[in-house]
Structures are given as C-alpha cells and as structure tokens.
Homo-oligomer: A and B are copies of this chain.
Amino acid sequence: MNRLLTEIAKYQKQPAYRREAGVFVTEGPKMVWEAPPDKVRTVVVTDRFRREKEGIEERFPAARILTVSEEELGRISDTKTPQGVLAVVERYSYGFDDVFCEKNGVYVLLDSVQDPGNVGTIFRSAEAAGAAGIFLNRSSAEVYGPKVVRSTMGAIFRLPFLIADSLEETVEELKKRSVKVFAAHLQGSVPYDEADYSGPTAFLVGNESKGLGEEITRRSDERVRIPMLGKTESLNVAMATTILLYEALRQRKV
C-alpha cells in the first residue's frame, strides 16, 4: 500500500499517531465539502467518485489529491460502506478565549462523556441550538476520533472547543466571566424549565453511567433537573444536553 495510505490508516486507528501529526480524518462527500479548504492537507478519492463529482481540485487547491481504488479506500476507511472520499484535515487549536467567544453565549461543559456518538451528537445539537462553544475534560471521548467526527455532522468544523486539563478550573473561569453554570443533575433542585438561561449560560453534563462528579457539581451555580416519568432512571446524556440547549434557545427567542 502507498505510504500515504498506510499513514492515513494509522491516523484512523491510533489516537496518539494522529495527535502527533496534528491532524484528523473526515469521511464522505458531505463532511469533506464542509471542511475548511485551507485546513485540508490530503483528499483521497476513488476513481469513480472523481469522475462523478467535479470540482475537487478547485475546492481544495492546496491539498494533495490522491486517486485510489474502491478497495484501497475500504482499507483506510473507518466505516463499512465508504462513500468514495475522505480527507486529512489539520487540527484546530482554540484557546480559552476562542471558545468563550460570546459574552452572553451558551456553553456546554462535558465531564467524562465517554461515548463517541454522544460527544459528536452534542456538537451537532449545540451548533443547531446556537451554542457558542464546548469545553471537555480529558476523560471525555476524543473529539478527533472517527466516530465523534462523523457524529458531529460537520459541527466540528465550526464550533470552537477546548479540551481542558481541569474542567473544575474551566467552571471557575466561566464564573469569573459572569457565566452561570447549570449542572444537569438527577437530584437537581430546580426543574430545568424554571431556571433562567437568558444571561451567559453554561450547561455542565456528566458521564453516561456515573453522572457528574461531586466536586465539579459543587462548583456549579445551580443544579437543574429534567423531569422523568415512567421507570426511566436517566436520559441519554446527549438527549439531556439537547433538551437544555433548546430550552435556552426557546427562552432567548426575541
């Protein structure tokens, strides 16, 4: 296999390898076309895809474009049914102030959200609901992993995010900037739709099975509870986050 393809296969499978190279991989025409052209280093396409979809060179003038067989793409794809194209994209390097980009914005804080599909879907919902940025700790799923990238449906290219060494410190930083931090908590004292999200707002959500840690919950300003009927013990974390984000959007509507 071509050396470049071997390298891409390693980006797909080895988090450390893609981190050292400062890149990530995105697949499928929709996602590749949403990638910022100046960040795209390499585009790999099948012969057939190249014949059918025009304008790849024009769209990515600075990228190396590599044409391969269906079989070769299959070998470096993370999905069972590759869609003819993937791209190697340079990583983002947002600082705190890039993520905290709106004084009156809505932010999401992920404390050890470990399922890649959940993290990706939260990005997708966050963009849709108009959130300004996302903070995650290191025990959350790796944002640049193939499944997270795919589940963002492109939001990863647009929503700034920061992987914080200490999410507790992020909470404190946000509070200093007058952001009110709401912890989504099963034992929350306030029903989520009775809290006021009209000011600068951050939603803090936790791990799929353990929920939020005590320490970080204590640092939040308010614990909000999403009501649950039936015998449900909890909501999926991406669902809970989406409910909160859309309630904030609803309250902020002019």
Contact residues of A with B, CB < 8 Å?
34, 117, 121, 124-125, 127-130, 151, 153-155, 158-159, 193, 226-236, 238-239, 242-243, 246, 249-250
Considering the chains assembled together, what is the distance between the CA atoms of A231 and B193 in angstroms? 26
Q: A235-B124, A236-B121, A250-B193 are in contact. Are A130 and B229 (CB under 8 A)?
A: yes
Considering the chains assembled together, what is the distance between the CA atoms of A125 and B159 in angstroms? 26
Are the CB atoms of A235 and B128 closer together than 8 Å? yes
Scoring A228, A229, A246, A250 by chain B CB atoms within 10 A of each residue's CB, the highest score goes to A246
Complex: chain B residue closest to A244, CB-CB: B246
Can you list 12 A-B contacts (CB < 8 A)? Answer: A117-B117, A125-B235, A129-B228, A129-B229, A130-B229, A151-B236, A153-B234, A154-B232, A158-B231, A239-B242, A242-B243, A243-B246
20 new A-B contacts at CB < 8 Å, known A124-B236, A128-B228:
A34-B231, A117-B117, A121-B236, A121-B239, A125-B239, A127-B229, A128-B226, A129-B229, A130-B229, A151-B236, A153-B234, A154-B231, A154-B232, A155-B230, A155-B232, A158-B231, A227-B249, A229-B249, A239-B239, A242-B242
Scoring A121, A127, A231, A243 by chain B CB atoms within 10 A of each residue's CB, the highest score goes to A243
Scoring A125, A159, A228, A236 by chain B CB atoms within 10 A of each residue's CB, the highest score goes to A236
Q: A239-B121, A242-B243, A243-B242 are in contact. Are A153 and B250 (CB under 8 A)?
A: no
Chain B nearest CB from A169 CB (Å) reads: 28
Measured between beta carbons, the chain B residues less than 8 angstroms from A232 are 124, 127-128, 153-155
Are the CB atoms of A236 and B125 closer together than 8 Å? yes
Considering the chains assembled together, what is the distance between the CA atoms of A239 and B155 in angstroms? 15
Say which residue of B130, B227, B242, B250 sits within 8 Å of A230 (CB atoms): B130
Considering the chains assembled together, what is the distance between the CA atoms of A231 and B36 in angstroms? 13
